[in-house]
Amino acid sequence: MTGILSMPAEDMLANAKWQTVSWRTGTKGKLKARFAAVRIRIADGPPQRIRDKGQQHLPGDEAWLIGEHRASGEKKYYLANLPAATDLRTLAATIKARWICEQAHQQLKEELGLDHFEGRSWQGLHRHALMTMLAFAFLQHSRLKKARWGKKNQRTAASTKPAGRPPRHRRAHRSTAIETMPALSKMDWHREAA
């Protein structure tokens, strides 16, 4: 194992099988790119002199090296410590889940003031972070409930009953009023918090 030299990510994926993978549906349709993955050992072990190459790091832990070729021509490379049996679609979806986390963090800062803490204690910072995250969870719950309600109304309006056929069972009458509180706008949130 001492004779193995470190290689760039692009060279390690040169002979890999590239596949087009769709990880989720976005506002403009399916999000997809070409991905390839190989199992590697990261060169982060103790350094050792190998031939005339100077100091080289010995292989360390096993991991996934994942390459992404986007439609724009941009190439990205990632490392993941997921189990060896993980399939390519799961690897791609896990990498792309980072965007959702970044969006949530941005909304916490912009809409709910996560970055407005001016205290001087860890306890105060943790309480502030907890309160903004609770508010975010409440608003997300309200938004999702309202979206589900809208989809349910679209389905019932689109469906038609066959003429002359009695219903097979009767359902209890439900109220058509939306029972969720509306999501607060940024301006209303600051007014309420003051």
What string of pLDDT tens digits covers the 194 residues of the chain? Answer: 445 566 788 888 888 899 999 888 878 888 889 999 999 877 765 666 656 656 665 566 788 999 999 989 899 999 898 999 999 999 999 988 888 888 888 989 988 998 888 888 999 999 999 999 999 999 999 989 988 887 766 666 655 555 555 555 554 444 443 343 344 444 444 444 44
DSSP state of 114: G
The end-to-end CA distance of the chain, in Å, is 64
Domain count for the chain: 1
- Does this model's pTM top 0.85? My answer is no
Q: Please check whether residue 148 lies inside any domain of the structure.
A: no
Q: Please check whether residue 17 lies inside any domain of the structure.
A: yes
**How many Å apart are CA 158 and CA 183, to the nearest integer?**
27
Q: Which domain holds residue 17?
A: 9-86
Q: Please check whether residue 64 lies inside any domain of the structure.
A: yes
Look at residues 80, 83, 81 and name the one whose alpha carbon lies nearest to residue 35: 80
**How many Å apart are CA 82 and CA 95, to the nearest integer?**
11
Q: Please check whether residue 38 lies inside any domain of the structure.
A: yes
Q: Please check whether residue 142 lies inside any domain of the structure.
A: no
Would you call 55 helix, strand, or coil by DSSP? strand
